[in-house]
Amino acid sequence: MKGKSTHPNFDQTLDLLRARGFGTESYPDVPGGVLVSKGGAGAVLAPVPVGDDPADAEVAFAVHPGVLVKGEVGRLVDRGYQKFIKTSQYELPASASQLQAIHGFSEELKQLIGAISLYNESLGTTSDLYEYDRLMGREAAEPEPAQPWERAERQ
């Protein structure tokens, strides 16, 4: 028989985050979601049911960490030459202090909620979306190359 998980449930995790100085408020766009913020960065956490008991819900990211812009968590977009903070209304160039805030917030939050911290994410801030200007639209411009095992069409 499977033993009980040693990880705290969703409500216990929120209490732990509040005790460590994180701000929490409900997030209406995600059912049961909670906006967690600290130092100008934020993320939305949501409960994920594990078993039959709703009190045993685990924590998952509904919106990954980013900078807070007017109450909205901005996505980090990498355009090759610079990173940008993108929300539903704005797109702003990201500053070094914002990138440091996202990285510090993300690492502390992952450690407290028991999430997996990957090596490449521990080295620095990773972007949510990569849009290199020299590659945009290139996929549609070039036709698919013929495969060597396919017959060539004769005209």
96-113 helix and 10-19 helix, angle to the nearest 10 degrees: 130
What does DSSP assign to residue 56? G
The model's pTM: 0.73
Residue 143: predicted pLDDT: 66
Residue 53: predicted pLDDT: 67
Q: Length of the chain in residues, anyone?
A: 155
Residue 1: predicted pLDDT: 45
Residues of the chain short of pLDDT 50, as ranges, are 1
> What's the rounded Cα separation, in Å, for the pair 35 and 27?
6
Counts of helices then strands in the chain (DSSP H, E): 4, 9
Contacts 24+ apart (CB under 8 A), 59-63: 59/10, 59/13, 59/113, 59/114, 59/115, 61/115, 62/27, 62/30, 62/33, 63/27, 63/30, 63/33
> What's the rounded Cα separation, in Å, for the pair 48 and 37?
20
Residue 37: predicted pLDDT: 93
Number of C-alpha atoms within 13 angstroms, CB side, residue 40? 12
Residue 11: predicted pLDDT: 86
